[in-house]
Amino acid sequence: MNKTDFFTDGAAYERLMGRWSRLAGQVFLDWIAVPQGLRWIEIGCGTGAFTEELIKHRLPIELVALDPSPDQIAFARTRSSLAAVKFQTGDAQVLPFDDAVFDVAVMALVIHFLRDPLRGVVEAARVVGPGGWVVSYVWDYAMGGSPTAPVVAALKSLGFGTVSPPSAKATSSSALRDLWLSAKLDDIETRVIPVAVTFADFEEFWHSMTGPVGPVGKTIAEMSPDDVDRLRALLRTRTPTRPDGRVAYPANATAIKGRKRLP
């Protein structure tokens, strides 16, 4: 599965994941404590949800945002707050940049899509200068920490499998640390970022999670109407619902930061 196979509808992605990625991203940007006014590359910018937070929190003097999906790049370019960002399509595992041209490389909710995560981290380290930062956060798919986890669990219990990201096992703290160590990065730190996933009611939860935009939605789109009804009924009974009708449950992202070795 490639990232370009999914998430081509920017508005649907916003309903599914954008708001939660922003919540995690705000905590992440405060935690990495990287100075303002640096040269950044965002690897896997998607619809630009995290890009907006990056600009607000870190005030980069230069920001290049790269993604393999032309559709997501096109959506990101519609955001007026991102007019100064240099967008381009490209592969995280073969970055089209010279060595040591950035101060910070960031991957937000990306590494699980890479078929060779280590190659992606090594490439990120290559394009930052000595002492530069390589930072990332990703939903902890290894421990069921994604906002879509309740739907995935319900699908599995009904005998339906969803297409997993190619490197879902690379999303735990220990797996990410191993990648950063293998890329010869120093001063490595990790943390868990909890996010409260909430919806106004079950209908908002259902329509947000089942749109044909990601692996879960694509799986549901291929099911028969009877099976969709079974899934909906099961989620009705399983999904945590408050007395006021709001749907609420926890998600978790894993964050990591490291620095490129000095000569």
Sheet bearing 39-43, strands edge to edge: 86-89, 62-67, 39-43, 102-108, 128-139, 247-260, 185-199
| Amino acid (one-letter) located at 132 | G
Q: Are 138 and 210 spatial neighbours (Cβ–Cβ below 8 Å)? A: no
pLDDT of residue 219: 87
pLDDT of residue 22: 82
pLDDT of residue 144: 87
Q: How confident is the model at residue 1 (pLDDT cuts 50, 70, 90)?
A: very low
Q: Are 103 and 129 spatial neighbours (Cβ–Cβ below 8 Å)? A: yes
Q: What would the mean pLDDT of 140-150 be, rounded to a whole number?
A: 90
Looking at CATH, the fold of the domain delimited by 3-146+165-197+250-260 is given as: Rossmann fold (3.40.50)
Backbone angles phi, psi at 206, to 5 degrees: -60, -50
Average pLDDT, rounded, for the chain: 91
Q: Which of 4-13, 44-53, 140-149, 163-172 is least confident? A: 4-13
